[in-house]
């Protein structure tokens, strides 16, 4: 571990020197790349430097104890300080181990959030709206920006589907565990007998793609325009502003992505939003394909991938939320639906760290 930390510190120092090089300063792309890498290394390098300083202090105190007989009171003080330094050093070492865990390259990206009503009819659509509001409130608490890219509202205020862009530092790192099936158990407003119904909503969290990351041949795209539909009245456009993009690459018969966007009155804006969603879905598909080939990495994930996986239940009669991946139950349904997701997310992050540490320990044991 210390060898790796030393190499990272050397790289950090090299980057610091490069960032003052006139040739780099004159190249905006190189400057951005080096500054980003340096910023990513700064936390671990800073922690490593603090670790080395503590190790030096500990060594000095231990040498003092061993050098010559000390007065009893002074020796007791030194021994107490040695014990304190050892505890602090052990804690720092654990923090460094966590900082050295493989990072998800998507963690700092913006997010494409997709919510779709599943089983349960109108009740599922209403819960899809509840979840969208929950994520919107959470984004607001983090000062992230939310932009609806596409939506299919229902007459009663629910959503058959809603797709949104969430822009903010670290958005993917906090929301990536939300992909999967969210189940709700409650009495629908239309239920005269007071019976509890179970409905389901699927959530997908996709990292926003940059255009240079996904190679889309325009000849593989079919773009259709049509008149937007909606719940009625002023919501229905009178021009062909809605856009449907179908992506079917000639060299991949197993790949077909269809994106529809009709929220904007401008066909141009709908097309731009649809392309943003298409790029994110294609990047997600390619990354999943790569990850499927790395069995160890898949085992170290905490349910960030399988859309069919039932990840969470929201039980209204008991006021509880249960995350089935980590067997965590919180009796704070109201707060969670208001966007207070940090306790859930922190627990999932800790579980992911534990899984990665276990995977690394197993690999080291086998070697």
What gap in Å lies between CA 11 and CA 37, rounded to an integer? Answer: 10
H helices of the chain, where? 2-18, 22-25, 28-67, 72-99, 121-141, 171-175, 267-291, 295-299, 333-337, 342-366
pLDDT of residue 225: 85
Q: In angstroms, rounded to a whole number, what is the distance separating the alpha carbons of residues 227 and 262?
A: 8
- Same domain? For 270 and 312 the reply is no
Residue 63 lies in a domain: yes
304 plus 205 within the same structural domain: yes
Same domain, 126 and 263: no
333: Cβ contacts below 8 Å, ≥ 6 apart: 314, 315, 316, 319, 320, 321
pTM, full prediction: 0.69
- Quick count: other Cβ atoms within 10 Å of Cβ 340? 16
The answer to whether residue 335 is domain-embedded is: yes
| Domain annotation covers residue 236 | yes
Shared domain for 321 and 175, answered yes or no, is: yes
Task: Tell whether 182 and 304 lie within a shared domain.
Answer: yes
Backbone angles phi, psi at 68, to 5 degrees: -160, 160
Task: Say if 106 falls within a structural domain.
Answer: no
Q: Of 65, 99, 133, which marks where a domain is finished?
A: 99
Do residues 256 and 248 touch, judged by C-beta distance below 8 A?
yes
The per-residue pLDDT for 130 is: 95
**Burial (0-12, 13-18, 19+ Cβ within 10 Å), 17:** exposed
Residue where one domain finishes, among candidates 36, 71, 99: 99
**Tokens for 105?**
């390259």
Residue 166 has a pLDDT of 95
Task: Indicate the number of domains in the chain.
Answer: 3
- Tell me, yes or no, whether 326 and 184 share the same domain: yes
So what's the pLDDT on residue 293? Answer: 59
Helix (H, G, I), strand (E, B) or coil at 116: strand
Looking at residue 233, its pLDDT comes to 43
Residues 150 and 225 in one domain: no
- Specify the pLDDT at position 365: 54
Domain limits for position 320: 111-209+300-366
Contacts with 137 (C-beta within 8 Å, 6 or more apart), sequence order: 338, 339
Q: Is residue 104 part of a domain?
A: no
Is 9 within the bounds of a domain? yes
Q: Say if residue 162 is exposed, middle or buried (CB neighbours under 10 Å; 0-12, 13-18, 19+).
A: buried
Q: Is the same domain home to 140 and 265?
A: no
d(CA 262, CA 300): 39
Give the separation between CA 113 and CA 205, rounded to whole angstroms: 5
Number of DSSP helices (H) and strands (E) in the chain, helices first: 10, 11
**Residue 116 maps to which CATH number?**
3.30.70.1660
- CB-hemisphere CA count at 13 Å for 339? 13
Structure-token pair, residue 225: 């325009």
- Whether residue 105 lies inside any domain: the answer is no
Domain boundary residue among 291, 311, 343? Answer: 291
Examine residue 75 and state whether it is found in any structural domain, yes or no. Answer: yes
Helices 72-99 and 28-67: crossing angle, nearest 10°?
150
Do 171 and 315 reside in the same domain of the chain? yes
How crowded is the C-beta side of 31, counted as CA atoms within 13 Å?
Answer: 9
3-state secondary structure of 184: strand
Q: Which residues of the chain have pLDDT under 50?
A: 232-236, 295-301, 304-307
């Amino acid at each position: 571990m210390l060898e790796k930390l030393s190499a990272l510190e050397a790289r950090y120092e090299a980057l610091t020197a490069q960032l003052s090089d006139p040739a780099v300063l004159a190249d905006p792309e190189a400057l951005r790349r080096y500054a980003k890498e340096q910023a990513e290394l700064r936390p671990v390098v800073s922690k490593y430097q603090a670790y080395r300083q503590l190790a030096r202090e500990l060594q000095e105190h231990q040498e003092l104890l061993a050098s010559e007989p000390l007065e009893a009171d002074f020796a007791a003080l030194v021994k107490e300080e040695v014990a304190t330094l050892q505890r602090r050093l052990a804690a720092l070492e654990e923090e460094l181990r966590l900082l050295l865990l493989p990072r998800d390259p998507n963690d700092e990206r913006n997010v494409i959030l997709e919510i779709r009503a599943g089983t349960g009819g109108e009740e599922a659509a209403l819960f899809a709206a509840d979840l969208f509001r929950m994520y919107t409130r959470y984004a607001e608490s983090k000062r992230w920006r939310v932009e609806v890219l596409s939506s299919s509202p229902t007459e009663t205020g629910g959503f058959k589907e809603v797709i949104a862009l969430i822009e903010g530092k670290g958005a993917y790192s906090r929301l990536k565990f939300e992909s999967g099936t969210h189940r709700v158990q409650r009495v629908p407003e239309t239920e005269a007998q007071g019976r509890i119904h179970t409905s389901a909503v699927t959530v997908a969290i996709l990292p926003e793609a940059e255009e240079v990351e996904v190679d889309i041949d325009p000849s593989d795209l079919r773009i259709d325009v049509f008149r937007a539909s909606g719940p009625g009245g002023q919501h229905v456009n009178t021009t062909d502003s809605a856009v449907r993009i179908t992506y079917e690459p000639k060299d991949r018969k197993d790949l077909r992505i269809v994106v529809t966007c009709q929220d904007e009155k401008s066909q141009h804006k709908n097309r731009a939003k649809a392309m943003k969603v298409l790029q994110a879905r294609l990047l997600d598909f390619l990354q999943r394909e790569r990850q499927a080939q790395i069995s160890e990495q898949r085992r170290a994930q905490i349910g960030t991938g399988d859309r069919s996986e039932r990840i969470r239940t929201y039980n209204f009669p008991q006021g509880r939320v249960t995350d089935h991946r980590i067997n965590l139950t919180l009796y704070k349904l109201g707060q969670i639906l208001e966007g207070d997701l940090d306790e859930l997310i922190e627990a999932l992050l800790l579980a992911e760290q534990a899984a990665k540490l276990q995977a690394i320990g197993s690999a080291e044991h086998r070697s």
